[in-house]
Amino acid sequence: MTLDTIYKWLDDRFKLRELLPPIVKHPAPLNVVSNPLYCLGGTAFLCFIILAITGIFLAMYYKPTPLEAYKSVEHIMTAVPMGSLVRSVHSWAANTMIAAVMLHMMRIYFMGAYKKPRELNWVVGISLLLITTTFGFSGYLLPWDQLAFWATKIGTGIAGSIPVIGGYISLILVGGTDIGAETLTRFYAIHVLILPMTIAVLLGLHFMMVRIQGISGRL
Amino acid sequence: MADKIIITLTRRKLTEILIGLVALFFAGGTVAAVLKYLWPQSGAKGESSEVKIALVDEVPTGTAKKFMFNGKASVLLHMPAGFRAFGSVCTHLGCIAYWKPDENIVFCPCHLGKFDPNTGAVISGPPPSPLPAIDIIVKEGAVYALKWKDPDYVKSISFYAGAA
């Protein structure tokens, strides 16, 4: 049984030869291929994949309760084989992703790639930037150390300073008047469930629009 | 004069509007349910809700016990003169102060704030005002927290938001 026969078996059933090439084969122009600036978005996406994988592994040991959170992170870092590697990669990929997303946005901005007909993709891109930073903010609390506590205190305080609705937003975010067990579980749910689903949908839109509209030429 | 405004309302249109209203009603119910679910349950911040802190035997003279009062970190001190309880969130920048027996003070580690364990008054360091006292009662071998001694003072400290 060779690879060819497997491909043929699938092709007979799913018309791969007909359907796959238009999806997979899309040569990019030479000025795009040869310029590393065009890799920034891809770098951000690669970081996201790494974050998703390492994040799933971290979730297997992490316990989002005030008593256990710090201890479980300590356990990951000291006792779990390769635990410190997985967590460090998660942390570094997170920082790299924010940097890549920011640089990607600057590339788009300075090359004018947001202009007609790509306005909507710019809007989706900004949403992705906001979601990425929210990822960072919510993940920052999870180790439940002093740094985490005070960063969240400040962050939710900023949310609370929005006129009129700010107080309600911070109340729902914190789950009470002070950062505690409720905040931890809320941020955990946001970090591992709500944001990943949202970013997956938006990434899908982002990539689909790029495929439909193509990469813009330089100014 | 002005043209008449003519609204034609067919039977079909009316039905559509009614169905739309019903759909809105249910959607509103769903949103309300979600918000209700996410809204923090407000604990009883009543006037004199007794909260059991500890048994008297648990806290011998010269020791302390941390507890939560109205959602704020607090500390029960057993001084030679009797039991004292204070909110232990430092009035300076909101760190948690604790009982330091070797210096006989309530101590905030962030910026070396020192408080009198008998009155909560500031002895030294940057805190601008004393720790708020909590009224306590000792009965049947246990210590209970009753209420803030001065709720208005507690309201005036930003780090005690929502506690009084």
Clarify whether residues B31 and B64 are in a common domain.
Answer: no
Cβ(A64)–Cβ(A142) under 8 Å? yes
* Residue A135 domain-assigned (yes or no): yes
**CATH number of the domain to which B135 belongs:** 2.102.10.10
B36-69 b/e (C-beta count within 10 Å ≥ 16 → b) = eeeebeeeeeeeeeebebbeeeebeeeebbebeb
User: B27 is in which domain, residue-wise?
Assistant: 9-40
Q: What is the largest CA-CA distance in chain A?
A: 68
Is B161 at the interface with chain A, CB within 8 A? yes
Decide if B36 is inside a domain: yes
Task: Flag if A177 and B71 touch (Cβ within 8 Å).
Answer: yes
Please give the C-alpha separations between residue B19 and each of B11, B23, B24, B47, in angstroms, as whole numbers. 12, 6, 9, 48
B144 within some domain: yes
pLDDT tens for chain B, 164 residues: list them: 577 888 888 999 999 999 999 999 999 999 999 999 988 876 544 445 678 888 888 888 888 988 888 878 899 999 888 899 999 999 998 888 999 999 899 999 889 999 999 999 999 999 999 999 999 888 888 888 888 888 889 888 888 877 77
Total number of domains constituting chain A? 1
Evaluate if pTM is beyond 0.90.
no
- Which CATH number covers residue A86? 1.20.810.10
Q: From the list B40, B161, B162, which residue is nearest A182 (CB)?
A: B40
- Tell whether A146 is within 8 A of chain B (Cβ): no
Query: pLDDT digits over A74-122, tens only?
Result: 999 999 999 999 999 999 999 999 999 999 999 999 999 999 899 999 9
Classify residue A37 by its DSSP letter. Answer: G
Distance CA B60, CA B77 (A): 9
- For A111, other C-beta atoms within 10 Å of its C-beta total 16
Residues in chain B within 8 Å Cβ distance of A184: none
Residue type, A206: H
How far CA B155 is from CA of A18, A55, A188, A216, in Å, comes to: 71, 41, 31, 57
**A170 belongs to a structural domain:** yes
Q: Which two tokens stand for residue B92?
A: 């300076």
Half-sphere exposure (Cβ direction) of A76: Cα atoms closer than 13 Å: 23
Taking the CA atoms of A127, A131, A132 and A137 in sequence, report the sign of the dihedral they define. Answer: positive
Chain A closest-CA separation from residue B3 CA (Å): 41
The two tokens of residue B32 are: 């309300």
Enumerate residues 6+ apart whose C-beta is below 8 A from A42: none
